Structure 1
């Protein structure tokens, strides 16, 4: 509490409390004045209602008096109608009058009026009307007339007193409300003056104690933002402002200390992004390994870095090197002994990052680091699919050791290496799997073709020859005609079987090569084909089969779906790759999804390490372009 009162917050709280009390008092007076005005208005309305009700009661008494007097003087019973109506309304008006009155004194006056009115009607008016019906002369006697006048005058006097009391109460309440309003005006004026003075004093204090130091802090923040991390504030403020100034100075010192570390972190993230881009582009692993060692060396200001792959015999193979190069540094691809206390040896034993800041006590088994004059070294494990694959290491020959957190920061780079290795292995496995599937498919095609040709087809031909011999021995008759018809059908079946066998794996492709097979394919095409065959020599069988099926699928699509009128087939060899290009002038819009035969073509081409591209804009024809590496076909043959 003492600290709160002495600080800037305590002073602001105290000033705010004074201002709040001052404004609260003013508003309290205003609220009381408003309440008095509201009560005065309510009382005024109630007084008006009381006056209206008493006036109504006075009117009803006059109606009773005039009705009975008219009946006494004329004997006409029509005067009794307003007399009866007035008697019927008197109880309701009386109840209304008692409900409106809340003052005990005026309530007694109202009850006296009601008692007088009821007595006048019950004890005088009703008996007088009844007497007038029996003896009009007696009813018009002077004594009865004077009695009625006295009673009526008494009721009117009571009503006048009640009305005067109600008017006086309303006037008094209005005077009280006016006085309260005057007090409220005075209090409001005094409160506004006091508040304005208090706000002015508080604003002056805030400008001196807060605005000026905050403005200096803003200027310092601008200097810090512009890169001047040496900017500082004079710590002359009060309470929390002094704390703010001290905090700003501390922040400047912290930013100045951490600027280099932040720059290193940015460089590290940039390097990781570059390496991740290499992995995403599926570059060869050796390129990624070389880039990783180079990035590590430059980031951590090492004199040399190396990526090692552990071998089963306890040695390690250098797969990438960067930095210091002399006769003592091994070459990429060479094997080396890990020693006993080197960091790569520790990583192999523990599977965790390792660090060593001195090799002064190294043994003969650690001859490598001593020959390189290594002062400090760090290493981190590279794990691929849960298995320890190798290590990433860096060393320094300077007196200043590598950063303390270098081994931990290596983890991000080893993950990139592991991902590159896993991706390369996955691509290799996928290519091998595709190649095995394509080779098995081709072998199955050739086996089916051979079985059809050597088995069912030869058997059908033999039966056809026997049937033709029987036909020749039968004289002209209906039976001979039927046998001839059967022989013709058998001939067509043999031709259909031959076409099926040719479609499974054309014999001409295996026997004569790709160019004759494509020419035969063009002759059978339903769409005119223009051939441009720039490759005349025989190619490896997998390449010829893949190229043949690319052209066959393209011609089938052009005839069945593209509504083409012309197809161009071009084949040429470039930089060790066979390029097959098929274009048509059809409707376009071809796709490789939804079970299209292009999917199988892509698998076959990619299994050989090739690329298949389909370009088919709507209304502009279709182009299928395949590139097949000849070396891949030779490896699979």
Structure 2
């Protein structure tokens, strides 16, 4: 029973005028029949509260205007048909009529006010439930952009606006929709699009409750997403640090056990390749001439065609090793046509687009170069220099002796990518 009455009492709009008149007339007629029945057993003056109850119901359901009319009609019927003398109005009969009308109007006004308060409370409860559902959807998602269409559908169903949508971008209104900006502290978070020409009550509800609540939820969702990204980055950094330390321990163990230098060089090349997610790594040492000797290679793809270990070639000014040697510090290099040397030719042939080289120094003397090669453009300019330095320091205990040779003077430290436009020549 309660489930059937509640929607009638809490409906957001009052009954239409024709329906209100019909309901008011039916209530007054029912009260009159009840009054006739009661007048046989109780004094006629005791029938008045029955009409007051009808005025209260009419005012609650149909509004104060029909409540006033119902009060006047109830007073006239009560005075003319139920209060003595029956069927006539007297001067003294107007006094109780006026009192009844005053009381009826107060009752009707109180009923109308009570209804507005009850409807407002129900609307706020409904909005709170909607906010809770939206919060569960937006604050639990990993990707806010993918959750917004679903959130827009739920919000549209709850408000009875099926064409409502929530966009992350700035969207302009059109002939059928109005764009409501969603901002927090001047920052645009998105756009709420709703149909044009909405009822005044719905427009007020959107502006006063829905939009501010949605702005707060989107702001919180953006903050949560940023925190999640920061935590994920921290986890990645921690995992990468743990992997690097494990790799360093593995190489250091080989050094401590006094294994052959070639095994240590191969281990360093492989560990650096895995840590940097490179496609290829090469370890080269300087020799007299000046020349550069390839002492270790590693490839992510074991079937790739690699240079032969032990090959040597002149150290050219604009080769990969030459640019790193001249820089004197880790150097990112774009493998374009200006890069010379056999290693550069091989790199271009297999699709390498960028490389980073780091000089290896042993006891203050330039000893060689470690080079990591990448086929993806996204790898360029990544901060990997310090991670490579840790591994090159382990080469010193396993170095191969060479005849004395001094590299050319180093340039000032410049961290931009190395390119050149002149013809390659010898150092």
Answer 1 or 2: which has greater helix percent: 1
TM-score (norm 2): 0.39
Which is greater in Rg? 1
**Higher RCO structure, 1 or 2 (CA under 8 Å, sep 6+):** 2
